[in-house]
């Protein structure tokens, strides 16, 4: 489980776009997006850097805040 802080995520559409980007990178990922805290908790077998890159390429720079 990785937790990312995601910039620019301001509405439900953004949260959906972030989730879609995560699922595109890893179809087996489980993602819990929290709009209020602008964080995403992601369960994935991928390297967290790959998830961060996918989120960023959707337009939302992110940083890994915890493992
Ligand atoms: Cu939005």
Q: Which pair of structure tokens corresponds to residue 34?
A: 């929290």
| Ligand 1 centroid – CA 12 distance (Å) | 6
pLDDT at 33: 97
Q: Kindly report the pTM of this predicted structure.
A: 0.93
| Ligand 1 centroid – CA 32 distance (Å) | 16
In terms of Cα–Cα distance, which of 14, 28, 30, 21 is closest to 50? 21
| Ligand 1 centroid – CA 17 distance (Å) | 8
2-66: which CATH number, 3.10.580.10, 3.30.56.10, 3.30.70.100, 3.40.640.10? 3.30.70.100
Strand order in the sheet with 39-43: 30-34, 39-43, 2-6, 62-66
Q: For 10-58, what is each residue's pLDDT tens digit?
A: 999 999 999 999 999 999 999 999 999 999 999 999 999 999 999 999 9
| Ligand 1 centroid – CA 35 distance (Å) | 10
Within 13 Å of residue 54, how many CA atoms lie on the same side as its CB? 22
| Ligand 1 centroid – CA 19 distance (Å) | 12
Q: Structural domain boundaries of the chain?
A: 2-66
Q: Indicate left, alpha or beta for 44 from its phi (over 0: left) and psi (-120 to 50: alpha).
A: beta
């Amino acid at each position: 489980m990785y937790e990312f802080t995601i910039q620019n995520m301001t509405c439900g559409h953004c949260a959906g776009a972030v989730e879609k980007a995560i699922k595109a990178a890893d179809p087996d990922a489980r993602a819990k997006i929290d709009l209020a805290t602008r964080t995403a908790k992601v369960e994935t077998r991928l390297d967290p850097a790959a998830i961060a890159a996918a989120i960023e390429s959707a337009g939302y720079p992110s940083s890994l805040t915890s493992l």
